[in-house]
Every structure is written in structure tokens, then in C-alpha cells.
Amino acid sequence: MSARRVIRRLAIVNRGEAAMRCIRAVKALRTEEQGELEVAALYTAIDRDAPFVRHADLAILLPAPNGEVAAYLDYENLIRCVREAGCDAVWPGWGFVAEHPAFVERLAAEGICFLGPSAAAMRALGDKIGSKILAEKAGVRVTQWSGGELEDEAHAARAAAKLDFPVVVKASAGGGGRGIRVVDQADALADAFRSARQEAEGAFGDGRLFVEKKVEGGRHVEVQVAADRHGCVLALGCRDCSVQRRHQKVLEEAPPPGLSEALLGELRGAAVRIAECVAYEGVGTVEFLVRDPDWFFLEMNPRLQVEHGITEEVSGVDLVQLQIRIARGESIADLSQRQLCCALEARVCAEDPDRGFLPAPGRIARFDPALGPCIRIDTGVATGSQVPAAFDSLIAKVITRGATREEARARLAAALADFDLVIEGGATNKGWLIEILDHPDVRAGGVDTGWLDRFSAARAPDEGMAAPALVAAAILSYQRARAAARLNFYSDTTNISRERVPPSQGQAIDLSYSGEPYRLQVYAIGSWRYRVHLEGQVVAATLREEGAHTARLQLDGHTFRILYDISDSGVRLEVESHVHVFSSQSAGQVRASAPAMVVAIHASPGDRVEAGQPLGLLEAMKMEVAFEAPVSGRVTEVRARNGE
């Protein structure tokens, strides 16, 4: 039996929320053990002022000549920085090199400990084709599939026909929902095959694909496992991750609602067998597709998952600290767990639900999360932080627990509603998450993996707060125009400009909402008081700014709390958790929704285009999105080039 390994300084090869999670775990463990364990954060210039850089014991700047993401994948530079910082171990989190067996081998050659499984186990499990074969040998059920790699489109067609449609074409490498295409009919298979292969090669450098039968109405259920070097493998509970959009998880909860203890016991047993088959060491996640009473093995992720926090809340086990203890050679056979509560997690992201979930990064102008008992915020940002387009869109994970599922669900909805979050020029999915949590299907529990896509397709813009939002948007636009012109109204003695304009002189404000144009006339009638003319109606309103990007609107005897952001393209408002977007952009102007890489442009000056016609492709936050012509007309100028 090998001797216990001493770890004195741990390098984080990750960023943002993941890095902060490790820093908190290390500092808590250091206090508990009265030890000297330190943590070093590797960062790129874009994160120079990020919280994880400030809170680490030591911060090392990574050179990024080929881009921010590439810096975290450059083995030579990573190992050089780790060695120069005097680190004897590496914590990879759940991204970048977390599943790179070659990196693990390079670290071993340098005598540096990797907080995760061996390279051999990683190769066996990280390859979805290999892991399916491994599961079959272990007697664990898998979905019907091609039985191996697809050689070409013809092979894919034969395999899919044998399985019968609908089927799913999947990349063997990687994860995060990339390289996956659902195919409902045979005539769509060839395009899906080519598209999935291209994405897999670009994202993972591995274009191998397989096809499996699509299980309709299935739920995504995970088992958290932990294994030490002494042969002990434990299942630390199950969680439901079925609320997904485009194979990306949105809400997670533990334990899975509505599933019997007998079925969950089968899943835990199968997960343990999979881990034992590869002599697993560390913390990992085994994923299953469940259609009660049937279940099927999907894959095993040889790393910690983003959603591990809900398992921590219901089990009482700090999984990052557990990774450190396993790496030191400690036994986990006597690990104590609890199952005394329910927990839910929502992923708050910089994306725009009203524009097809386009990435929407930018500077965080206000970050004020709800705090209180049974509420946990895992994040790597603060007010003033930049949400860069180079990385994924996650801003924060809001986790709540309760004695019952309904208590945890209601607490999560309230915590999101009380979360003040404004991204300058960007957007978040916070209001959309609240909608989901309040939906009767989610309240009841047990939705399948296709539910969220069906909900999103049928979702109509919420008009409940449209009138107050329109008035507020007009007043805020008016205030900005007045500030830009430095106008001094007789009734407003706070402005020291020499220009004096009578209050009777209002200003026309043109706004577009849900595709409808509006012209409002706004007049200042006193400090914070306004008269707004809208479609033949005249309303009196008071709008008082309270702080950065916050205001209170009094209208028709009601008071509304408002979060807002004003940019050149318009106004984005959150009124009582309802998000409204008002555009002031020229009808014929096409602008990127956020900083992004130009992948392709399909139009040239002089071209005639129709409204809705694709004009090109952008890539931001690991997502490729098309931009379209807002109106029919002729292209007069193109100000962007491929690669910019």
C-alpha cells in the first residue's frame, strides 16, 4: 500500500466560479486541519481583476499568444507555470484539461499529482464508444446503438435504419452537449452526420461518431461517485438534470423527484460497478437515461461536474475537499453522509432568452445576489467584472435547500427574484429561470429532457408588465438624452447647465417593443416627475433613480422596482422579475448582439436581401450563432471581416 502523499501547494488550472470554489474549499480545509495547504491560481490577462485572482494565495499569469482559451490547453506553459510556482498538485475543476489523459501523464512525469483519475481510467471513460462497450461488459444496460464508430454516412444510414428513427448522432469525445444531433427522419441524417463531425473535430479534435436510439420521454439522472486508492467506491447520491436546453443543463435537483428508492438503488449499484471496472480513483459522475421503470447508461464523466453543489447540500460532503483527501491517499470507507433535505440549482448565464439565447457578455454593472439561510451562491464575478466572450456564459449558480422539494423550489424562485444583476449591453436568463420554476410541470417534478425545448418553443413574451416598462423605458431614454444635451429645466434646480429650457418642451422618444414601434412624448414636470403621452393617453409617472442601474417607478398608484441598462441600441428593463427589451436601433442596421468572432459573412455591398435572410455566422461563448437581415433591402456596407 502506497504511503500518504503530502500536498502543500495546489495549482488551479481553471478560472471563474470553478477557481473560487476550489479556493473556498482549500481555505476551509486549511482552517479545519490547522495545516499549511496553499492554492495558486493560473489566470490570463482578461481575468487580471477577477475575484479568484485576488483571493488565491498566489496568482500566476498565463501567456496567451493564441487566445485565452488556448492558454488553458497549452501543456508546456501550464506545467512550466505550475513548476515555477512550486506546486505539487493540480486541481482541474470541470473544464479545459479536466479530461485530458495526456496532460495527466505529463504531470506524472514531472512528479506532480493530478486531483482526478488515472490517464488509463480517463481514456476508458472519456471515450463514449469505449465506455459503452465497457458498460456492456460490466452488465450495465445501455441504449440500443451502432455498437461502435460510424465509418461514414452510408454506415450511419445503415445503423440508423436498423435502430429505427428517431435516433441521436453523438460525438465519441468531449461533452457539454457539443457534437450531438437528434435526427427524426432518414433524409436529415446525412446533414446531421456532417454537422456533428465538423463540430466535434473543431471542439475536441476528434470527429468519431456513433448513433443510438433516441429514448422518448427520458429523464437525465446522475450518480455522484467517489473512489479511493484502497478499492473503496461509494455512491454519494443521485440528482436529476432533466431540465436541459440543447443538451445544456439549466436546472438540477437532488434527490430526483418521483423515482422509487429501489430504482435509485439500481442506478447507484450500476455506477459503482462502472467505476470498479476501471479501478477509478477520485470523484466522478455516472449519467443515466431513465424512463421509469427502465434505465440506460449514458456515460461517465471522469471529473467533478458543475452541478456538484446540490449533492454537497444534501449529503453534507465537500466534494473538492474529498478530492484532496483521496489524492493524499486517505481512505473514504468511513465517510458519513446525510439525506435530510432537498436541493435545487439554477444556472444564471449571460445569454438572451428573447433572442434565441444568443450569448450576451459584457461588464457587470450590478451584482447583488440574495443572501440568507439555505441559499448558496457559487460565482466567480463581482460588480465591475467583465464577462468575456471567450469563455462559457455561466455567471453564477444559485443553490437552495429545504426540508421538502417545494420549500427548496420556492426558495430558489425567491432568491432569483431578489438577485440584482445588470450586464451593460448584455443580458441574463434570470427572468426566464423564474418562469421555468413557476411552471406547473416543474412544480410537479419529473419532467423529461425534451420538456424545456417544448416550453421554449411555445413560450410567448410576457406582456404583464409591458405598460409600466414602456413608460419607464421612455423616461430613462429621455433622461439620457437630456443629460447628453446638458439641458436645464426651470423646474429642476439640480442641473447647473447654463442652458435653460422650459418644461413644456418635451421630447419624442421612439422605441420598438416585440416588433411594434411606439412614439412617446415625455415632459419633465418636476424633480423625478414626468408626463408621458402614449397613443392618445396621458399618464403621470414618478421615476426616481436609487443607485447604479436601479430605480423605482410610481404609476397609477403602484410602485415598481426596476433594474435597467441603457445602451446605444436601446433599453433593457427588469420590472418585478419580468424582462423587457426596447430597441432604438435603426431598422436597417445589423449589429452583433455581443463581442464575438466573425466566422463567416454571406453578404456583400449591393446584394439584395430579404427580412430574416442569414447574413453570416458569429461564435461566442462556445456557441455558433447566425445573424439575419432585420428588414428587406439592399446591403450598402459591410464593416466586418472573417476572423475579426
CA–CA dist 9, 26 (Å, integer): 10
The x, y and z cell numbers of residue 504, run together, are 413644456
Which amino acid is residue 194, in one-letter code?
Answer: R
pLDDT digits (tens, 9 = 90+) for 84-111: 999 999 999 998 999 999 999 999 999 9
Specify the fold of 466-583: Glycoprotein, Type 4 Pilin (3.30.700)
CA–CA dist 107, 127 (Å, integer): 21
CA–CA dist 233, 248 (Å, integer): 28
The predicted pLDDT at position 602 comes to 86
The predicted pLDDT at position 485 comes to 58
In the predicted structure, residue 499 carries a pLDDT above the cut 50: no
Whole-prediction pTM: 0.85
Q: Strand 248-254 relative to strand 209-213: parallel, antiparallel, unpaired?
A: unpaired
Specify the fold of 587-644: OB fold (Dihydrolipoamide Acetyltransferase, E2P) (2.40.50)
One fold for both 118-142+220-340 and 348-458?
yes
Beta-bridged to residue 254, according to DSSP, are 343
In the predicted structure, residue 82 carries a pLDDT above the cut 90: yes
In the predicted structure, residue 494 carries a pLDDT above the cut 50: no
Contact 631, 611 (CB under 8 A): yes
CATH, range 9-115: 3.40.50.20
Among 214, 371, 233, residue whose Cα is nearest residue 296: 214
Among 330, 246, 265, residue whose Cα is nearest residue 6: 330
In the predicted structure, residue 1 carries a pLDDT above the cut 50: no
The predicted pLDDT at position 550 comes to 95
The x, y and z cell numbers of residue 497, run together, are 447647465
Which residues have CB under 8 Å from 462's CB, separation 6+?
Answer: 435, 578
The predicted pLDDT at position 341 comes to 94
Average pLDDT over residues 356-384: 93
Contact 159, 205 (CB under 8 A): no
pLDDT digits (tens, 9 = 90+) for 134-149: 999 999 999 999 999 9
Among 208, 217, 63, residue whose Cα is nearest residue 129: 208
The predicted pLDDT at position 492 comes to 44
Residue 541's Cβ-side half-sphere holds a number of Cα atoms within 13 Å equal to 28
In the predicted structure, residue 267 carries a pLDDT above the cut 70: yes
**H or E element, residue 365:** strand 362-368
Across the chain, mean pLDDT equals: 90
The highest-level CATH class for domain 118-142+220-340 is alpha beta
Say which range, 121-125, 241-245, 479-483, 635-639, has the weakest mean pLDDT: 479-483
Domain 144-214 annotated CATH 3.30.1490.20: yes
pLDDT digits (tens, 9 = 90+) for 431-471: 999 999 999 999 999 999 999 999 988 887 666 668 899 99
Which residues have CB under 8 Å from 497's CB, separation 6+?
Answer: 486, 487, 488
C-alpha Rg value of the chain to the nearest Å: 27
The predicted pLDDT at position 491 comes to 45
* Tally of CB atoms within 10 A around 174: 19
Q: Strand 38-43 relative to strand 58-61: parallel, antiparallel, unpaired?
A: parallel
Query: In the chain, what are the domain boundaries?
Result: 9-115, 118-142+220-340, 144-214, 348-458, 466-583, 587-644
The predicted pLDDT at position 542 comes to 96
* Positive or negative: CA dihedral 385, 386, 390, 393: positive
Average pLDDT over residues 382-406: 94
DSSP state of 585: S
Beta-bridged to residue 225, according to DSSP, are 235, 284
Q: Strand 351-352 relative to strand 420-424: parallel, antiparallel, unpaired?
A: unpaired
Q: CA 338: distance to chain centroid?
A: 28
Which has more pLDDT, 634 or 596? 634
The x, y and z cell numbers of residue 292, run together, are 421509469
Instruction: Please report, for residues 314, 410, 420, 436, 522, the alpha-carbon distance to residue 369 in angstroms, rounded to integers and kept in the order given.
Output: 22, 16, 6, 19, 33
Buried b (16+ CB within 10 A) or exposed e, 478-490: bbeebeeeebbbe
The predicted pLDDT at position 570 comes to 85
In 9-65 the beta strands, taken as DSSP E runs, fall at 9-12, 38-43, 58-61
The highest-level CATH class for domain 348-458 is alpha beta
Which amino acid is residue 36, in one-letter code?
Answer: E
Beta-bridged to residue 565, according to DSSP, are 572
* Tally of CB atoms within 10 A around 538: 10
